[in-house]
Amino acid sequence: PAPPLGLRALTGETPRLQVLPFADGDQLLLYTDGVTEARDHGRAFYPLADGLARHVSDEPARTRTALHDELLAHVGGRLHDDAALLLLRKPAAQSAALPEDLVEAWR
């Protein structure tokens, strides 16, 4: 665990670099606390891990849209805090290259 962004200086700890593998096809989800702290009418937090397990797919936009829609349904249609989801997928090496005609147009 680490302190929230921007608050590490208050701990006096020196940050450690951690390198994790990120292979072709892997996905990385970044989110704000407005997502994980969103509550329903019964005050239950939105279960992001459960939603991700239900909606993860090879297409990040589809996963993100499903999570967004589910989050809004969980809170009854209106968030009371800012919330952001960013889902990145590392493409396979052969699909990472830009089409040659597009590269040529930029030259």
pLDDT of residue 96: 55
Predicted confidence band of residue 102 (pLDDT cuts 50, 70, 90)? low
Count CB-CB contacts under 10 A for residue 85.
19
Assessment of whether the complete model's pTM goes beyond 0.85 = no
Q: Which residues of 37-72 are buried (b: 16+ CB within 10 A; e: fewer)?
A: ebeeeeeeebebeebbeebbeeebeebeebbeebbe
What tens digit of pLDDT does each residue of 39-76 get? 999 999 999 999 999 988 878 889 999 999 999 999 99
pLDDT of residue 38: 96
Q: Is 39 helix (H, G, I), strand (E, B) or coil?
A: strand
d(CA 30, CA 15): 19
- Please compute the mean of the pLDDT values over residues 91-101 and round it to a whole number: 70
